[in-house]
Amino acid sequence: MLGVAAVTFTSILWGTTGTAASFAPAVGPLAIGAAALGIGGILQGVIAIPSLISQRELLRTNWKTVVLGALAVGLYPLAFYSSMRLAGVAVGSVISLATAPLFSGMLERIIERRPLSRTWMLAAALGILGSVLLCVSDLTSGAHNAHNAHSAGSAVIPGILLALVAGATYASYSWAVKHLLTKGLPRPAAMGSVFALGGVLLMPVLFLTGGPILASRNSLLVAAYMALIPMFLGYLLFGYGLARLEASTATTITQLEPAVASVLAVLVVGERLPILGWVGVSLFAVVLILVMRSSSTQRMPS
């Protein structure tokens, strides 16, 4: 129960990131993503230094998993925030987070040889349909978020593709951390190694694109909030929950994030999601139910 509560609260924190980023329109999505998860990831490594030192041999043995997770951490924020800038906060966040459990199931099938149930197949089909409906609704309505009102409707399709990349990389680093935990690494070492290395990989992106963050007090506050609260604190809680849950179950619970993000996008940012888009969102609610049902029937890996 504590694991579920930790991941649920994490999802609420993460649900604020898209709206927070919209208050720094001069900062590009690559910069905001690199600052948020880059700095947050390095802080994860700093507080885990004692564990990283004591577990260095086990980390060396599992270096491939660490590198895979770190690469996913490095790619995720770049794809995620770019998707929201192109497709809108609601659409980008919904597709990114709603598809993550589906990708988690695929990783478990390919790497751990776990069979995919019919429930997973149905959830995948509904997730794809929901993504298509969100794409079509945004293209046909011409509704775009306030900070991207000048964008052409064709930008939505690249945004959705990037959201799918975000979903895949999110599932990948969640699986990597969980795999390290099952290999006997303590939570600080597993989280710290993956996120610190991922944060380091994001530093060149921040150096090249982060100038606008320092250009105004508002942009600096947005970047600081995102790095310290949703990313640093959020991933501490996520790691706590991940140590107690399947990776696919944890990523399923975080589908609360798109719901939070969508509500904030409508109420705070001023986005408008047409009826067809809400139908797509509702399909992801069905996906959530199906994936949780499927995950509940699976045992924790030994």
101-110, 149-158, 265-274: range with lowest mean pLDDT: 149-158
Quote the pLDDT of residue 280. 75
Quote the pLDDT of residue 201. 96
58-72, 105-119, 170-184: range with lowest mean pLDDT: 105-119
Name the average pLDDT for the chain.
81
Quote the pLDDT of residue 76. 95
Quote the pLDDT of residue 148. 47
- pLDDT tier at 123 (50, 70, 90 boundaries)? confident
Residue 125 has pLDDT above 50, yes or no: yes
Quote the pLDDT of residue 41. 93
Mean pLDDT of 26-34: 89
DSSP letter string over 2-52?
HHHHHHHHHHHHHTTHHHHHHT-TTS-HHHHHIIIIIIHHHHHHHHTHHHH
Quote the pLDDT of residue 239. 87
Mean pLDDT of 2-19: 83
Residue with tokens 């099952």: 182
- pLDDT tier at 247 (50, 70, 90 boundaries)? confident
Mean pLDDT of 60-67: 94
Residue 302 has pLDDT above 70, yes or no: no
Residue 51 has pLDDT above 80, yes or no: yes
Quote the pLDDT of residue 258. 67
φ/ψ bin of 67: left (φ > 0), alpha (ψ from -120 to 50), beta (otherwise): alpha
**H helices within the chain, ranges in order?**
2-14, 17-22, 29-33, 40-47, 49-54, 56-61, 63-87, 89-112, 118-141, 156-182, 187-209, 217-226, 234-242, 247-253, 256-264, 275-296
11-25, 107-121, 151-165: range with lowest mean pLDDT: 107-121
| Joined tokens for residue 131 | 């993504």
> What is the residue extent of each domain of the chain?
2-296
Mean pLDDT of 224-229: 92
Which position has the higher pLDDT, 183 or 244? 183
Question: For 184-216, how does the pLDDT look when each residue is reduced to its tens digit (9 = 90+)?
Answer: 999 999 999 999 999 999 999 999 998 899 888
Quote the pLDDT of residue 42. 95
pTM of the predicted structure, to 2 decimals: 0.79
Residue with tokens 């659409």: 91
Mean pLDDT of 94-108: 79
Quote the pLDDT of residue 135. 64
Question: For 129-173, how does the pLDDT look when each residue is reduced to its tens digit (9 = 90+)?
Answer: 876 776 676 655 554 444 444 444 567 788 889 999 999 999 999
Quote the pLDDT of residue 196. 95
Mean pLDDT of 60-84: 93
